[in-house]
Structure 1
Amino acid sequence: MFDAKVALGTWSWGSGKNGGDQVFGNHLTQKDLQAVVDSAMANGLNLWDTAAAYGQGSSETLLGDCLKPYDRKDYFLSTKFTPMFADSGDDPVRDMLAGSLKRLHTDYIDLYWIHNSDDVEKWTPELIPLVKKGLVKHVGVSNHNLAQVKRANEILNAGGVELAAVQNHYSLLYRQSETTGLLDYCHQNGITFFPYMVLEQGILAGKHDAAHPFEGENDRAQRYNPMLPQLNELLAKMIELAAQHHVAVADIATAWVIQKGTTPIIGVTKQHYIADTKHAISLTLTSAEMKALESLADQANVDTRAVWEQNMNQ
């Protein structure tokens, strides 16, 4: 349903609660990000993923402002309703969507998500009237396990709406969506799977290891630095493959998820990431290389499941 090979993520944009400054230690201005957007659009990368929850709307604001120079038909917007931030009004999903529409300077969203699985029975039906009214073109669910995705699909189908996409954490280091059968279910039912945290917030980008940890006291540094010693062999293999294929180390992790039949969400904060992303799209890893990466990832034995994510095995 979606032609794009990758989506460009903006979780690390903005500031405040759940924003780029607190989570990643970033301090990005619109001037910084305008160059990123312009480069992406010039290179045909026009699928943008954000959420009202990212920096309490500041990510959407930055993205909307950066996309102002472009015709609406020339880019694809993905944003989310987050139940934990719902207001107490009569229609909290519609209310949160209204805020997103305003910040993104648009009158419709191409792909709108239920951001987590707090109450599938309550929230999933609320997507149906948004599609019927033309405010949303396609709908998806994020951070849902297999049983919840199946139930969401049933609810939507009963209302005449298709479940277009699933967005979950999926990477070399975190493969529960694969091992539980969710990824296969999506493939079998024509549902696009959008993995996020493909690079594990940069830990698989080849720039950090036990001797070069993340700096600062942000959430990323506190969470990932203790894992770095266990990743030496995997990172060494990724560096080796990157040299052989003449790509960036991050492209190895991205190519791996693309070859799993997914459309990864790649966080972009710098202009040169656009060229790297294009390389990842065109890169083909051999089956032996894929298996070697998976074996070393298993041997690392790290748990990168985030605090907001449920255990998909339960």
Structure 2
Amino acid sequence: MVVSTNVPLRKLGQSALEISALGLGCWQFSKGRGMVGRFWAEMDQHDINEIVKMSLEGGINWFDTAEVYGKGESEKALAEALESIGLPANDALIATKWWPMFRTASSITKTIDHRIEALDGRTIDLHQIHQPFSFSSVEKEMEAMVELLKANKIKHVGVSNFNEDKMKKAHQVLSKHGYFLASNQVKYSLLDRSMEKNGVLEAAKQLGITIIAYSPLEQGILSGKFHKHPELVKKIQGPRKYMSFFKPAGLAKTKPLIDLLEEKAKKYGVSQTQIALNWLIHFHGETVVAIPGASKPHHVQENIGALQFTLSKEDLDEIDQVSRQVALFD
């Protein structure tokens, strides 16, 4: 396997860790297990292996999974895929997440060995708090993360779905111990730009925290295929077809943006999906990276292709203006 070296890398937060501007989201590797894992249809391990291999070959060097994705099945599937690839996969970076619901911060240290075991002993380069609701405070959660850092169980700390205040608090607690908050993973796309208005983006820029955008294509809406063929909505497996953007009114509202993405795709000789992803990882400099998923090989090709060009400032701004007319900001 030949890993691409042509993809520019950027720092994860204040760390020395260099990551590609796109990682691979691995929620879809959940094998259909658990409440969260049933969001996606079950994937065959052979297909998962191929998707991970193609991603690495294309220059994507990190993978985002989580404990709650299939109750560890996504982590296991990722580890198995990396093992099937062999030595070149040893440099693959792994981000996973602790699930806080109905738990206290002590669970972070108690469950870390389960995470390492699910990942077949591979290094956890980024360990994240999956969401801000638990039976413990942010302070106690970060203190638990410090224990893991000192024990060399994890390399860096991140959070997910944290608002501005909680993100700042997490960074403050870590700073007292000589560490830093590397990232905040939030929902962000051309159709959901809430983090630009709620203070998260500005605080991240000030503190040197990387924003990891999940659902960067709004579950496929930004590809344009559902606008051209609305009957495809009925064929979607899982609950995402009930999201507002998939309804007729949602498709109609977002059509001006979809039309512009199609226009830019023709200009650059790429796909609409690649235009949407390229905008996301360049409009805010190097602050925002994204984790599109991939359940089929052609999805991987789309992701890789988005790393091969850069939109002009004029096109970035034009897409920004049209997006503002249809996106959510609250």
TM over 0.5: yes
Q: Taking structure 2 as the reference length, what is the TM-score of the superposition?
A: 0.84
Of residues 144, 156, 161, the one that matches 2:179 is: 161
* Partner Cα distance (2:241, 2:70) in 1: 18
Q: For residue 28 of structure 2, give the secondary structure of its aligned residue in structure 1.
A: coil
User: d(CA) in 2 for partners of 1:34 and 1:107?
Assistant: 16
Alignment of 1:28-67 (within 5 A): 28-67=43-82
* 2:28 maps to 1:12: yes
Give yes or no for the alignment of 1:282 onto 2:308.
Answer: yes
2:240 alignment partner in structure 1: 220
What do the CA deviations read for 1:288-313 (whole angstroms, capped 9, x no partner)?
3223323322322558xxxxxxx6xx
SS in 1 for 2:29: coil
Query: Is the Cα contact below 8 Å between 1:124 and 1:152 reproduced in 2?
Result: yes
TM-score normalised by L of structure 1: 0.88
CA contact 1:108–1:134 (8 Å) conserved in 2: no
Distance 1:107 1:244, change over 3 A: closer
CA spacing shift, 1:135–1:48, aligned 2, 3 Å: same
CA RMSD of aligned residues (A): 2.1
**Structure 1 residues 211 and 96: CA distance shift in structure 2, 3 A:** same
Going from structure 1 to structure 2, the CA distance change for 1:219 and 1:85 (only over 3 Å counts) comes to farther
Q: Select the residue among 76, 80, 98 that pairs with 2:93.
A: 76
More off after superposition, 240-249 vs 173-182:
173-182
| 2:154 alignment partner in structure 1 | 136
Does structure 1 conserve the Cα–Cα contact (< 8 Å) formed by 2:61 and 2:93? yes
The secondary structure found in structure 1 opposite 2:157 is strand
SS in 2 for 1:166: strand
The aligned runs of 1:199-214 (5 Å cut-off) are: 199-209=217-227, 211-212=229-230, 213-214=232-233
**Could you tell me how far 1:107 is from its partner in structure 2?**
5.0
- Residue 291, structure 1, aligned to residue 317, structure 2: yes
Q: Distance in 1 between matches of 2:185 and 2:237?
A: 28
Q: Distance in 2 between matches of 1:150 and 1:302?
A: 24
**How many residue pairs were aligned?**
300
Q: CA deviation at 1:154?
A: 0.7
Q: State the match for 1:307 in structure 2.
A: none
Q: Which runs of 5+ in 2 are unaligned?
A: 1-10, 13-17
Percent identity, aligned pairs only?
30
1:18-73 superposed Cα distances (whole Å, 9 cap, x missing partner): 445x324x231101111111112222322010001112211111111111133464
Q: SS at 2:307's partner residue? A: helix
CA offset digits 1:194-225 (Å, max 9, x no partner): 11111011111222127424224621101142
Following the alignment from structure 2 to structure 1, what is the Cα–Cα distance between the partners of residues 280 and 236? 29
Amino acid at match of 2:298: H
Matches within 5 A, 1:247-266: 247-259=270-282, 260=284, 261=286, 262-266=288-292
Question: Is 1:93 aligned to 2:108, yes or no?
Answer: yes
